[in-house]
């Protein structure tokens, strides 16, 4: 009975949460219910009593607790060995209390019933009277319309949609990169680009007949750039990031430096 007591305490704590119930809370309730599977009848009775006595805004969350437990039980123990669905002897009475929820939430109850019928949790003979409770004036007419919709579109209870939306928001938040971080990433990307651009500029000046002194100034600028990149490489060693300059570029810079230095000495 200790497992049932723990489940009851967690179920009662729903009053501390404002609907909709969080994914973590629903998962915890489901786990505790599965742990108390040997006393599944007591678990079912606890949820039924909760639905009967709770305030209107907690009626649908109570149904979602049942739905989550049944889903997990059928997934973990197979459809034939699920005991929680079979442990709902007063299901008609329970749904009579469920439909005392706010009028705008009755559609959520109908969606769960559609899902149960589609997945054969209960037979159509059991589901139809429950659907009639949602709209007593059109008793017997709801099933064909609802079944047609179920065949065309996969139906999921709202608590799963709310959890999916919450998970999506969290994922979106994690994947969002601040402009500052983007700026830093762009700032340090492709460290060879600046050096290669300077080399190209130097070669162009040589072709256009620029003086050796101007070309030497360009080489000095390239040298300073390489030194800065070397320091940056050293600071990134701990994060396993490496910066490599093309060997051909380095060889070309060395040759140019030697040639232009010789020319500059001759001029002097």
pLDDT score of 98 more than 60: yes
* 29 pLDDT more than 80: yes
Per-residue CA distances from 118 to 124, 127, 149, 152, 162 (Å): 9, 10, 11, 12, 21
- What pLDDT sits at residue 87? 73
The answer to whether residues 130 and 15 belong to one domain is: yes
Specify which of 25-39, 113-127, 222-236, 252-266 reaches the highest per-range mean pLDDT: 25-39
Count Cα neighbours of 129 within 13 Å in the Cβ-side half-sphere: 11
Are 136 and 188 contained in the same domain?
Answer: no
Strands (E) located in the chain: none
Distance between CA atoms of residues 17 and 15, nearest Å: 5
Domain shared by 167 and 186, yes or no: no
pLDDT bin (cut points 50, 70, 90) of residue 157 is: low
pTM above 0.85, yes or no: no
Q: Are residues 194 and 125 in the same domain?
A: no
CA 144 to chain centre: 36
Q: Which of 59-73, 164-178, 225-239 has the highest mean pLDDT?
A: 59-73
Average pLDDT in the 205-225 region?
62
**Which segment, 116-125, 155-164, 257-266, is predicted with the most confidence on average?**
116-125
Q: Collapsing DSSP states into helix, strand and coil, what is residue 15?
A: helix
Element (H, E) at 199: helix 192-207
Domain end residue (candidates: 172, 192, 213) = 172
CATH of the domain at 164: 1.25.40.90
How many CB atoms sit inside 10 A of residue 196's CB?
A: 14
The number of distinct structural domains making up the chain is 2
pLDDT(211) > 90? no
Its domain, for residue 158, covers 2-172
The pLDDT of residue 88 is: 75
Q: Is there a single domain that holds both residue 119 and residue 216?
A: no
User: Of 172, 187, 219, at which residue does a domain stop?
Assistant: 172
Cα separation, 214 vs 256, whole angstroms? 13
Residue 24 to residue 10: CA distance in whole angstroms:
12
Sequence-separated (6 or more) residues with CB below 8 Å from residue 188: 232
pLDDT at 115: 94
Q: Is the pLDDT of residue 36 over 50?
A: yes
Mean predicted lDDT score pLDDT of the chain: 75
Per-residue model confidence (pLDDT) at position 148: 39
């Amino acid at each position: 009975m200790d497992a049932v007591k723990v489940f009851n305490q967690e179920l009662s704590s729903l009053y501390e949460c404002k609907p909709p119930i969080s994914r973590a809370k629903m998962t915890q309730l489901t786990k505790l219910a599965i742990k108390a599977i040997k006393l599944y009848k007591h678990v079912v009775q606890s949820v039924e009593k909760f639905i009967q006595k709770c305030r209107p805004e907690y009626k649908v969350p109570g149904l979602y607790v049942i739905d989550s437990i049944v889903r997990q039980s059928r997934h973990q123990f197979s459809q034939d060995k699920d005991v929680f669905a079979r442990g709902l002897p007063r299901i008609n009475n329970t749904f009579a209390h469920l439909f005392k929820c706010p009028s705008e939430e009755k559609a959520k109850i109908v969606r769960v019933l559609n899902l149960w019928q589609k997945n054969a949790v209960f037979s159509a003979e059991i589901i139809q009277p429950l659907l009639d409770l949602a709209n007593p004036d059109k008793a017997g007419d709801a099933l064909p319309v609802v079944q047609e919709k179920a065949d065309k579109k996969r139906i999921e209870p709202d608590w799963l949609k709310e959890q999916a939306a919450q998970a999506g928001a969290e994922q979106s938040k994690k994947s969002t990169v601040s402009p500052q971080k983007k700026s830093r990433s762009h700032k340090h990307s492709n460290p060879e680009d600046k050096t290669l651009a300077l080399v190209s500029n130097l070669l162009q000046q040589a072709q256009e007949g620029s003086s050796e002194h101007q070309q030497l100034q360009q080489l000095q600028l390239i040298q300073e750039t390489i030194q800065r990149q070397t320091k940056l490489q050293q600071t990134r060693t701990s994060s396993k990031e490496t910066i490599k300059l093309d060997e051909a570029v380095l060889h070309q810079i060395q040759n140019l430096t030697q040639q232009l230095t010789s020319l500059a000495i001759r001029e002097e």
